[in-house]
Structure 1
Amino acid sequence: MNWKFWQKENKDTKPKKKKSRSREWVDAILFAVIAATIIRVFFIEAYTIPTGSMERSLLIGDFLFVSKVNYGPRVPMTPVAFPFAHHTMPLTGTKAYWDGVQWKYRRLPGLSEIKRNDVVVFNYPQGDTVALEIQDVDYYKMVRSEGWDAINKHYTVVSRPVDKRENYIKRCIGIAGDIISMKDGLVSVNGKPEKLKSTGQMTYAVTFKTADINFSVFEDLGFNISEDINQSSPNTYSFTGTEPMMDKVSKLDFVQSVKEVTQPEGYQEKDVFPFDPKRNWNADNFGPILIPKKGMTVQLDSVSMPLYERSIRIYEGNKLEKAGTGWLINGKPATSYTFKMDYYWMMGDNRHNSLDSRYWGFVPEDHIVGKALFIWMSYNTNGSFFNKIRWNRLLRGIN
Structure 2
Amino acid sequence: MGKVILVTLLIVFCIRTFFIEPYTVSSAQMETALINGERILIDKTAYGIRMPITILTVPFTFGKYSSIIELPYKRIFESDVKRNDIVLFNNPLDTLKPLDKGELLLSRCVALPGDSIHVKDGIFRINERDYVCSPDVTNEYFIKTPNRKYLAEIINELEISASSTRVQADTMFLRLNKLDAFILNKSLPDSMQVTTMVDTVSNYKFLIPAKGKTINLNTETIAIYKQIILTEKGPKAKIVDNKLYISGEEQKRYTFTDNYYWMLSDNTLNSSDSRSLGFIPFKNIIGKGRFIWYSPVKGRSLSTIK
The answer on 1:200 being equivalent to 2:125 is: no
Instruction: Give structure 2 stretches of 5+ with no counterpart.
Output: none
Q: Give the SS at the match of 1:105.
A: coil
- 1:1-399 matches, cutoff 5 A: 24-25=1-2, 27-86=3-62, 88=63, 96-110=64-78, 112-128=79-95, 159-208=96-145, 210=147, 212-213=149-150, 215-219=152-156, 220-224=158-162, 227-228=163-164, 230-234=166-170, 236-254=171-189, 256-265=192-201, 281=202, 286-317=203-234, 319-323=236-240, 326-379=243-296, 390-399=297-306
Taking the aligned partners of 1:299 and 1:250, their CA distance within structure 2 comes to: 49
Q: Give the SS at the match of 2:89.
A: strand
Displaced runs of 4+ in structure 1, greater than 6 A?
Answer: none
Question: TM-score, normalised to structure 2's length?
Answer: 0.92
Give yes or no for contact 1:80–1:101 (8 Å, CA) kept in 2: yes
Structure showing the higher strand proportion among its residues: 2
- The 1:52–1:316 alpha-carbon spacing in structure 2 relative to 1, beyond 3 Å, is farther
Give yes or no for contact 1:123–1:368 (8 Å, CA) kept in 2: yes
Give yes or no for contact 2:219–2:242 (8 Å, CA) kept in 1: no
Overall identity of the aligned pairs, in %: 30
Higher RCO structure (Cα 8 Å, ≥6 apart) = 2
Question: AA paired with 1:32?
Answer: T
Aligned length: 304
Aligned-residue RMSD, C-alpha? 2.0
Give yes or no for contact 1:221–1:245 (8 Å, CA) kept in 2: no
Instruction: Give structure 1 stretches of 5+ with no counterpart.
Output: 1-23, 89-95, 129-158, 266-280, 380-389
Taking the aligned partners of 1:359 and 1:253, their CA distance within structure 2 comes to: 35
- The 1:185–1:392 alpha-carbon spacing in structure 2 relative to 1, beyond 3 Å, is farther
Q: Give the SS at the match of 2:87.
A: strand
| Alpha-carbon offset, residue 335 of structure 1 | 1.2
Q: Give the SS at the match of 1:317.
A: helix
Give yes or no for contact 2:230–2:238 (8 Å, CA) kept in 1: no
Deviations 1:75-121 (A, max 9, x none): 111122110111x2xxxxxxx112121111111115x4211111100
Taking the aligned partners of 1:55 and 1:324, their CA distance within structure 2 comes to: 43
Taking the aligned partners of 1:249 and 1:125, their CA distance within structure 2 comes to: 39
| Alpha-carbon offset, residue 323 of structure 1 | 4.7
Taking the aligned partners of 2:186 and 2:242, their CA distance within structure 1 comes to: 59
| Alpha-carbon offset, residue 391 of structure 1 | 1.6
Question: TM-score, normalised to structure 1's length?
Answer: 0.72
| Alpha-carbon offset, residue 163 of structure 1 | 0.4
Larger radius of gyration: 1
Q: Give the SS at the match of 2:184.
A: helix
